[in-house]
Homo-oligomer: A and B are copies of this chain.
Amino acid sequence: MSKSLRIVIVGGVAAGPKAAARARRCDPQAEITVLEKGSYISYAGCGLPYLIGGKVPDIKDLLATPVGVLRDSNFFQAVKGIRVLTGKEAIAIDRVQRIVKVRDVATSQEETYPYDRLVLATGAVPVRPSLPGLDLKKVFVLRHPGDGLQILASLEENKARRAVLVGAGAIGLEVAEALVERGLEVTVIEALEQVFPGWLDFEMGAMLEGHLISKGVRVRTGERVSHFLGNQEGRLEKVRTDKGEYPADLAILAIGVRPNVELARQAGLEIGPTGAIKVDPYLRTSDENIYAGGDCAEVYHRLLKRPVFVSSGQIANIHGRIIGTNITGGQVAYQGTVGTGVAKVFDYTVGCTGLTEAVARKEGYEVVTALAPSIDHAHYYPEAKFVGLKMVADQSSGRILGVQVVGPGDAAKRLDAAATAITLGATVFDLTQLNLGYSPPYSTAIDVLINAAWVLENKITGLAKTVTPMEVQELTARAEDFLLLDVRTPTELQEVRLKHPKVMAIPLGKLREKAKELPKDKYYIPFCKFSLRGYEAQKILEGLGFPQVKFMEGGWVHWPYGLETEPQKAG
């Protein structure tokens, strides 16, 4: 080309700057312009909860490179030869003339930017339901650095004591932790019946909820906020729900985001059924000269085999890189997400990859699942902690559909290996023989993930016969005749016990002997801490001719219906 390619990018946070930087590397001659409505560019939005909590001492840390260089317009010009203009709102696209119309936020003057290739990276905006009082002072969302600074200022000005967080997803719970660390009383209100409804099945959510409660967070699930009530100065005083009222010095709405597609819609670009901009595998919109990526664009899901809407800084960067390649003559296809997410919530790590059991069933899969907690490294090496883990697989093929993790141990490692496995189409049989790094400080000889695959395979082959905690609860509700058999040691029994009227305790080491005294016509449900010994007990009783024995998956660690001692020694 004799003439330089003119690239215009709308959006300066994640996918936009990444597309720009990649395009520059692929085409040193291109004229690249990034237009950003706001005043911050290329900021780390995911770091905002830690700004509020104080782990990130200064907003500048979220705006700078790892070596402290501010990522501003000068940086982009000097380092990357990219023109980044802030305070420039793209208001229309003339697709025939290939021109973006822009309004300068400060002066309201209109400008035009011609393009050969246009990239839409307009991101997402927080969902704001139409609730009375939403505009009161001290009712916040948390998306932009400005939001974070406002919340911080508000905490300091007012000596805020009580906070209500609406929405129990990653941002809501990360902020819950931040505010508890700052000494506030925190209530989390979630409309659905559990915390992290998008990531976790019920029993995994219950495990996390237990941890939140142990940290002093008031958790209200299945409760809907109806009003924000203020005082005469228009400042929030209370949050009202369908079940009660909560005095609050501040409230933060964290019920999700929706793709910001107004510009695309007005330009007549196709919007997908998810509400995000429809793109082909090359991240091209319905106009071949316009690409879209990051939160504003649909994201292909490898397991669902259709586009979804997700908000992810990781996907935004991967999208940006692909777009930068493709608008400069490359042809890379985006292969899709598997829906991986991870968050730190107090001392627990929580994460998911693939599909939850609930979603997999809704999608029509015949699923087999396992609750298979384990410790994160050798028990004799200091500080071994448990990882709660649920694995979901397709019954007929054994293909892994999803993995969820919750617990104080190193769950993030298992999550990433699982995400890799799911991406590459692994079956449970593949995972039974994974060759992971084994050394006492890092894992047990049979890692958490391999162990879970063993449990699941044992279920598939019929060796392991199990009931879930929820099934035990149903049996209880139906007043069926069964006995929960706690096969732990007497020392363990002193530390924590299941809250359930039908528990009988026989240590595993005595079971073969004591079995002689047990009536054979009963339905036995053995368990222990993780139910590895529960499984052993099932096999023992089965081998001795007991006709009805199933162990309870996950042990007391996954029991969501109450324990008699707080599991402080759960490690």
Contact of B340 with A437 in the complex, beta carbons under 8 Å: yes
Interface check A152, CB cutoff 8 A = no
User: Among A76-84, A187-195, A471-479, which stretch is in contact with chain B?
Assistant: A76-84
Interface check A491, CB cutoff 8 A = yes
| Shortest Cβ gap from A84 to chain B (Å) | 14
Interface check A312, CB cutoff 8 A = yes
Residues of B within 8 Å of A417, CB to CB, are 416-417, 419-420
Residues of B within 8 Å of A450, CB to CB, are 314, 318
* Distance A346 CA – B553 CA, assembled complex (angstroms): 38
Contact of A446 with B509 in the complex, beta carbons under 8 Å: no
Residues of B within 8 Å of A412, CB to CB, are 413, 437, 442-443
Residue of B nearest to A449 (CB): B416
Residue of B nearest to A312 (CB): B438
Contact of A342 with B79 in the complex, beta carbons under 8 Å: no
User: Given A79-B508, A489-B68, do A437 and B342 touch, yes or no (CB 8 Å)?
Assistant: yes
Q: How many residues of A contact B (CB 8 A)?
A: 105
Among candidates B170, B435, B441, residue contacting A315 with C-beta atoms closer than 8 Å: B435
Please give the count of copies of this chain that the complex contains: 2
User: Among A221-229, A233-241, A423-431, which stretch is in contact with chain B?
Assistant: A423-431
Residue of B nearest to A48 (CB): B440
Q: Mark A25-51, 1 if CB is under 8 A from B, else 0.
A: 110110000000000000010110010
User: Given A378-B47, A491-B68, A508-B79, do A439 and B344 touch, yes or no (CB 8 Å)?
Assistant: yes
Interface check A390, CB cutoff 8 A = no
User: Given A81-B512, A421-B424, do A317 and B439 touch, yes or no (CB 8 Å)?
Assistant: no
Residue of B nearest to A530 (CB): B66
| Shortest Cβ gap from A247 to chain B (Å) | 31
Residues of B within 8 Å of A313, CB to CB, are 438, 445
Interface check A382, CB cutoff 8 A = yes
Within 8 A of B (CB), among A155-191: 170
* Distance A170 CA – B412 CA, assembled complex (angstroms): 25
| Shortest Cβ gap from A567 to chain B (Å) | 14
Among candidates B321, B378, B489, residue contacting A67 with C-beta atoms closer than 8 Å: B489
User: Given A68-B489, A430-B423, do A28 and B440 touch, yes or no (CB 8 Å)?
Assistant: no
| Shortest Cβ gap from A72 to chain B (Å) | 11
Residues of B within 8 Å of A414, CB to CB, are 416
* Distance A420 CA – B353 CA, assembled complex (angstroms): 15
* Distance A80 CA – B454 CA, assembled complex (angstroms): 18
* Distance A75 CA – B489 CA, assembled complex (angstroms): 13
Contact of B24 with A539 in the complex, beta carbons under 8 Å: yes
| Shortest Cβ gap from A438 to chain B (Å) | 4
Within 8 A of B (CB), among A306-337: 312-318, 321, 334-337
Residue of B nearest to A310 (CB): B435
* Distance A342 CA – B436 CA, assembled complex (angstroms): 9
Residues of B within 8 Å of A435, CB to CB, are 314-315, 336-340, 353, 419, 423
* Distance A339 CA – B410 CA, assembled complex (angstroms): 23
Residue of B nearest to A433 (CB): B335
Interface check A56, CB cutoff 8 A = yes
Interface check A510, CB cutoff 8 A = yes
Interface check A99, CB cutoff 8 A = no
Residues of B within 8 Å of A542, CB to CB, are 28
Interface check A257, CB cutoff 8 A = no
User: Given A55-B382, A508-B79, A542-B28, do A433 and B334 touch, yes or no (CB 8 Å)?
Assistant: yes
* Distance A381 CA – B68 CA, assembled complex (angstroms): 13
Contact of A26 with B344 in the complex, beta carbons under 8 Å: no
Residues of B within 8 Å of A439, CB to CB, are 46, 170, 341-344
Please list 14 pairs of residues, one from A and one from B, whose beta carbons are closer than 8 Å in the complex, sorted by A's number: A24-B539, A25-B539, A46-B438, A66-B375, A67-B488, A68-B491, A79-B540, A336-B433, A351-B437, A416-B447, A417-B417, A420-B434, A421-B424, A424-B424
Interface residues of A (CB under 8 A from B): 14, 24-26, 28-29, 44, 46-47, 50, 55-56, 61-62, 65-69, 75, 78-81, 170, 312-318, 321, 334-344, 349, 351, 353, 375, 378-382, 384, 410, 412-417, 419-421, 423-426, 430, 432-443, 445-447, 449-450, 454, 463, 488-489, 491-492, 508-513, 529, 536, 539-540, 542-544
Known A46-B439, A66-B375, A423-B434; 14 more pairs at CB < 8 Å:
A14-B445, A26-B463, A28-B544, A61-B380, A65-B379, A75-B509, A79-B508, A313-B445, A318-B432, A340-B436, A414-B416, A416-B417, A417-B417, A424-B430
